[in-house]
Amino acid sequence: MIPDPSTKYRAFPPVSLPDRQWPSRTLTHAPVWCSVDLRDGNQALAVPMNVSQKLELFDALVRCGFKEIEVGFPAASNTEFAFMRRLIEDARIPEDVTVQVLVQAREDLIQRTVESLKGVRKAIIHLYNSTSPAQRRIVFGLEKPQIVEMARKGTRWIKERLPRLAGSDIRMEYSPESFSATEVEFSVEICQAVMAEWQPTPANKLILNLPDTVEVAMPNVYADQIEWFCRNIGQRESLIISLHTHNDRGTGTAATELGLLAGADRVEGTLFGNGERTGNLDVVTVALNLYMHGIAPMLDFSNMSALREVYERCTGMHVPPRHPYSGELVFTAFSGSHQDAIRKGLAEWQSKGDGAHWDIPYLTIDPSDLGREYREVIRVNSQSGKGGVAYLLESQFGIELPKDLQREFGPVANDLVDSLGREVSGSELKGMFWREYVERRTPLELHHFHADGVDGIFRCRASLLRNGSDLKVTGEGNGPIAAFVQALTSAGLPAFEVVDYRQAALGSGTEASAISFIRIRTHEGQLVWGAGVNTHIQLASIEGVVSALNRAASRSELKH
């Protein structure tokens, strides 16, 4: 990089629009969507799709709800032409879907394009030629009047051939390619020349597509260009103003949303932003941005994972894990504070029942609306805290840890995960909990326990191993747990008391286990949790006491 970039680069000049209106507007409805996956997306692939792949992706686009789909450039190759004919001859195009074909303003290419459309029910012929100063000077070596004449002739050649498509509903779209780098006055001039040839009406509108072909400025400048154009073009009621943004500066989504505020009616883009250089606009992102504000996007992404699989299979591209809405990790939290907020937010929202507005920290949209599962939301690595650990145990296994136990087990789990140096699954977390609490066998191991009560007084007898030696105890109290505590302390174990006791079912039916959480206070005042699991409720609680004592022993409380 050079120390003074101004010696090599210059800022794009702003549009003079002191009374711009778009900043004070709000989006209230979805635009007309046009997918260009099969053309712009396809031309950007190292290995373009074959006919079978294009057919599979076309069907996926139809399922999503796209009513306008640019299917290719039929005059560019035999594959493109064959695909167009396959769609028509095999009746693959639904009645409510309009296919779009791209063509340059050249008579031979227009002739071939019209041939490809014979028998089509509804189609848009998309004519384009480039208009920016650099393109005029470097590529064409032409002045403005000659560029205008190119667009005018292309329109005339299409119109002259419409009788060959009698019985078909044919509309036209014109793109002054490189609009974003073209003088706005010249963009209006060339579009008006096209309008004079085509003669659009409110009943037969012309689509004027204004591409941000290469992002050369901030998105607010593009919005100014769109608003200036909409104000200064004639016959606005006979036009559909369309946007086609790219992502060279990483602001394709912003440019589209601001362009819609500026007066555009229609959006062209691709699934997940596939396209030349840094890509086209990602239609999924803009549509779901509307959705999360309560606006029906008129597209259906309720099975995002399946759509992503089709896209990746057909294109050979990969959706990045952090890609908005569609990436593998976009609904996943590893941070402990995030996990805790999400867990509490989901609990509150679910408690409100149907009709509650979505308002969950860190989740702008309900993952289930896109076919994703809540268990994806919280995943655990070394950055996670007690909330994430507790959420996975509860959501996957029904183990609802008491809050104080969460605080105790969270750091234990974190240290274990940190030593592994990777993400861990819910099953691995459960294994950690079992090893730390349920499967403790030293210094005490319970072999047998029996208790019965009369008039509120319970007597128990139990046999245990203590540091490998047999220990038989008896005791009494106002319940089985109290009797067991009295039995152990009478046998010489340091005094302790049970200060918290929780129990829950694991599973259902006659074979369901019970899990007990027991918290004790040792004679030194230390609070320690234990856990027991057994198909017998009483035994689960007794095993919980033994677990707590064993964990206290690991802290040097009962080594002798």
- At 334 the pLDDT is 76
* Domain residue ranges of the chain, discontinuous segments joined by +: 29-315, 336-438, 444-553
- Cut 0.85: pTM above it: no
Phi-psi label, residue 132: left if phi above 0, alpha if psi -120 to 50, beta otherwise: beta
- At 238 the pLDDT is 98
Q: With beta carbons less than 8 A apart as the criterion, state whether 275 and 311 touch.
A: no
Rounded Cα distance, 147 and 131, in Å: 7
Under DSSP, is residue 83 helix (H, G, I), strand (E, B) or coil?
A: helix
138, amino acid identity: I
Between the CA of residue 497 and those of 368, 460, 472, 487, 529, what are the distances in Å? 46, 17, 20, 12, 12
- At 337 the pLDDT is 82
Q: Considering the domain 444-553, what is its CATH architecture?
A: 2-Layer Sandwich (3.30)
Q: With beta carbons less than 8 A apart as the criterion, state whether 284 and 241 touch.
A: no
- At 280 the pLDDT is 96
Choose among 539, 531, 524: nearest CA to 500.
531
320, amino acid identity: P
- At 385 the pLDDT is 64
DSSP H helices in 295-402: 304-315, 336-352, 386-397
* CATH superfamily, region 29-315: Aldolase class I (3.20.20.70)
The rounded Cα 281 to chain-centroid distance in angstroms is 16
- At 559 the pLDDT is 47
Contacting residues for 542 by C-beta, under 8 A, at least 6 apart: 446, 449, 462, 480, 481, 484, 532
pLDDT tens, position by position, for the chain (560 residues)? 999 999 999 999 999 999 999 999 999 999 999 999 999 999 999 999 999 999 999 999 999 999 999 999 999 999 999 999 999 999 999 999 999 999 999 999 999 999 999 999 999 999 999 999 999 999 999 999 999 999 999 999 999 999 999 999 999 999 999 999 999 999 999 999 999 999 999 999 999 999 999 999 999 999 999 999 999 999 999 999 999 999 999 999 999 999 999 999 999 999 999 999 999 999 999 999 999 999 999 999 999 999 999 999 999 999 999 999 999 989 887 777 888 888 899 989 999 988 899 999 999 999 999 999 866 676 776 666 667 788 788 888 889 999 899 888 988 888 888 888 888 888 888 999 999 999 999 999 999 999 999 988 999 999 999 998 999 999 999 999 999 999 999 999 999 999 999 998 887 665 678 999 999 999 889 999 999 999 999 999 999 999 999 999 887 544 44
Rounded Cα distance, 493 and 475, in Å: 13
- At 507 the pLDDT is 74
The answer to whether the Cα torsion of 141, 143, 148, 153 is positive or negative is negative
Rounded Cα distance, 353 and 194, in Å: 56
